[in-house]
Structure 1
């Protein structure tokens, strides 16, 4: 078997590409922190619902 060409995709790589970019763990919505760019929006949304965040 000769050397692989520079852009050849190996069998292992091909499998990874087929599988796609899937996260390993599902995050718990109750414990994850809200990103800074969304915090104001969420606070405003909760306030309109009458729920105050601690």
Structure 2
């Protein structure tokens, strides 16, 4: 199974449409942190939007 995205910038995700809206509102150069669940453990991925 793959990773599960639990939150974006500390905002818990409730739905796919919420995820899509949040990503759509990000601009190139914006820093972003995804909280993911991978193999039962929480991890954080930080990157800059392109």
Does TM-score exceed 0.5, indicating one fold? no
TM-score, structure 2 length as denominator?
Answer: 0.28
Higher helix share: 1
TM-score, structure 1 length as denominator?
Answer: 0.27
Q: Higher RCO, 1 or 2 (CA under 8 Å, sep at least 6)?
A: 2
Higher strand share: 2
